[in-house]
Structures are given as C-alpha cells and as structure tokens.
Amino acid sequence: MPRDISEFTSTLEKWVRMQESVLKTFMESDERISNADRLEIVTATRIAFNHLIRTLKAFDQWLQDPFIVTHIPRDMLLEVWRETLKALEIIVKLDIKHTSEVKQLIAESYYEGKLNPIVSQLRFELLGEEETRRGGVSLSM
C-alpha cells in the first residue's frame, strides 16, 4: 500500500476508535446523568449535541470528498441515506415535541404569574431585541 494510503487508512482507524470511545463514554454516563441535577443534564446534553454536530460536519465533508464517494458503492450510500433519515426523524420529532411542551409550560407559567422575573425581563427585553435584529425565532403567546 502506498504511504499516503496507509496514513489515510490509519487516520480513518483512529477516527473509528475515537468514535467508539466517545459512544461508550456517553452510554456509560447515562445512569449518572439520569440521576443528576438540571445543570449537569443540560451540560451533558449540550456536549452530546456538540459531538453530534462535529460528527455530522465530518460526515458531510466525507460525502463531499470525490476520493471517498467515488469508492463507496451505491448500496452503502443508500444505507447512509436511510440511517440519516431515521436520525433526522428522531431529532425533528424530539424538537417538535420539546418545543411544543416548552411553549405550553411557558404560556401556563406566564398566565399563572410564575415566570422568573429576572430571566423573563432579560429574555423578552434584552435578548428579544437582539433576536429581532438577527431574524431569530420569537415566541408569541
């Protein structure tokens, strides 16, 4: 095998080992996170999201590389598509469910006078103005 191919395949093997290690770490953390406080749950979830984003970016770059896609058979590409569609469905359904539930919780808290006044003022006055300038999503009640 030419040197550059050997280095390339070695890099791929390192990526696979790192991904296996990350997955194992996350899976082993599940019980601890299930019993953690809210901050630790949020932190762990954000770390997981960041790893997902990193992995998706790497996979996207992978699929833009002519050397890679030239050598991937059609059935492997279909497998990637089908598994991607499953992951997309899971994440989008989670987003729909969570966003709908949070909208309801915030609306109920607002009408019951239970919104935290400090974070509410920051959210709706300071951050709301910034989101408007950026074209961000705003919640209407």
Give mean pLDDT, residues 99-118.
94
Residue 43 CA to residue 41 CA, distance in Å, equals 5
Residues 102, 50, single domain; the answer is no
Q: Cβ distance 137 to 131 under 8 Å? A: yes
Q: At what angle do helices 38-64 and 3-34 cross, to 10 degrees?
A: 160
pTM for the structure as a whole: 0.80
> What range does the domain containing 106 cover?
74-141
100 and 64 in one domain?
no
Band of residue 123 on the pLDDT scale cut at 50, 70, 90:
confident
Domain shared by 116 and 139, yes or no: yes
